[in-house]
């Protein structure tokens, strides 16, 4: 029985390896929702930190690093805390920003643009950084939100293992839902360390993705938005 279990596990690992080799460095996405297990939030943050610390210690040891060294001894715990509390905190629904709507008392009917929102994320294919600028805009349907909430929406979805296409869609749809309007635009310009530090090792290229909803899909509105981004 134990031998059969081992063979099944080895076969599964081989199939997984072959699938990864076939995909290679192709940039693939799997829909707008972040792929999560149904029981993703059953474990507490402390339990997750404990497990990640153990496994990262094993990774470092496998690489041949001496974990008795004073400089390395605390690294597994530091990494575990960073993963759960910082880099990937956007996975937890509890960290989603609370959105309060206000009446559009000034009756402002033009687009509102928040540009150059700096964000840091991580590529879900290699777990290395994605970083860049997000530019967002909306036209009020009668309600507005505080400007800082736009930044917080970007940061929340960036703090996950991501692909840039999904990040763009998640920000846009969250804005549409929060503001009760389809008139939303998002442009992201970012660098991917999986491109610049490994693989092709192109340090100069960047990736641009966009979303234009409602009025922003009209050519004149889109052009006005893009003009603001060039100022």
pLDDT tens-digit series, residues 6-40: 555 555 555 555 554 555 555 555 679 999 999 99
Q: Give the closest residue to 162 by CA, choosing from 188, 109, 200, 125.
A: 125
| Residues 69 and 148 both lie in one domain | no
For residue 35, being part of any structural domain is answered with yes
Confidence of residue 54 (pLDDT cuts 50, 70, 90): very high
Domain count, the chain: 2
| Residues 190 and 224 both lie in one domain | yes
Q: Which of 27, 114, 125, 224 is catalytic?
A: 125
Q: Which of 155, 164, 170, 176 is catalytic?
A: 164
- Over the stretch 131-160, which tens digit does the pLDDT of each residue have? 999 999 999 999 999 999 999 999 999 999
| Residues 147 and 64 both lie in one domain | no
- The answer to whether 4 is a known catalytic residue is no
Task: Note the pLDDT of residue 12.
Answer: 56
Task: Please say whether the beta carbons of 174 and 154 come within 8 A.
Answer: no
Q: Give the closest residue to 116 by CA, choosing from 146, 77, 167, 150.
A: 150
- The answer to whether 173 is a known catalytic residue is no
Task: Note the pLDDT of residue 31.
Answer: 78
Q: Which of 135, 174, 176, 192 is catalytic?
A: 192
For residue 97, being part of any structural domain is answered with no
- The answer to whether 194 is a known catalytic residue is yes
Host domain of residue 106? 102-229
Q: Which of 53, 124, 165, 169 is catalytic?
A: 124
Of 58, 92, 126, the domain-final residue: 92
Task: Please say whether the beta carbons of 214 and 181 come within 8 A.
Answer: yes
Task: Note the pLDDT of residue 11.
Answer: 56
Over range 209-224, report the average pLDDT: 98
| Residues 211 and 181 both lie in one domain | yes
- The answer to whether 55 is a known catalytic residue is no
- Over the stretch 85-100, which tens digit does the pLDDT of each residue have? 999 999 999 999 999 9
Q: Which of 50, 126, 173, 224 is catalytic?
A: 126
Distance, in Å, from the CA atom of 147 to the CA atom of 166, rounded to the nearest integer, reads 23
Task: Note the pLDDT of residue 206.
Answer: 96
User: What pTM does this model have?
Assistant: 0.87
- Please give the mean pLDDT across all residues of the chain: 91
């Amino acid at each position: 029985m134990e031998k059969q279990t081992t063979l099944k596990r080895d076969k599964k690992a081989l199939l997984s390896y072959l699938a990864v080799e076939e995909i290679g460095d192709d940039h693939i996405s799997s829909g707008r929702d972040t792929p999560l297990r149904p029981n993703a939030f059953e474990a507490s943050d402390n339990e997750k930190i404990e497990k990640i610390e153990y496994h990262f210690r094993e990774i470092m040891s496998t690489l041949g690093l001496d974990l008795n060294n004073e400089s390395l001894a605390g690294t597994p715990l530091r990494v575990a805390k960073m993963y759960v509390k910082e880099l990937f905190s956007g996975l937890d629904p509890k960290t989603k920003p609370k959105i309060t709507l206000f009446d559009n008392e000034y009756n402002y009917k033009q687009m509102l643009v928040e540009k150059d929102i700096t964000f840091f994320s991580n590529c879900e294919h290699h777990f290395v950084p994605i970083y860049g600028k997000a530019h967002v805009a909306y036209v009020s349907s009668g309600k507005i939100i505080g400007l800082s909430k736009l930044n917080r929406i970007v940061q929340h979805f960036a703090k996950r293992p991501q692909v840039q296409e999904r990040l763009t869609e998640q920000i846009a749809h969250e804005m549409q839902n929060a503001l009760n309007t389809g008139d939303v635009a998002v442009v992201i310009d970012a660098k991917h360390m999986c491109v610049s530090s490994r693989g092709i090792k192109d340090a100069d290229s960047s990736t641009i993705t966009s979303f234009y909803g409602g009025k922003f899909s009209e050519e004149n509105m889109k052009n006005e938005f893009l003009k603001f981004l060039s100022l």
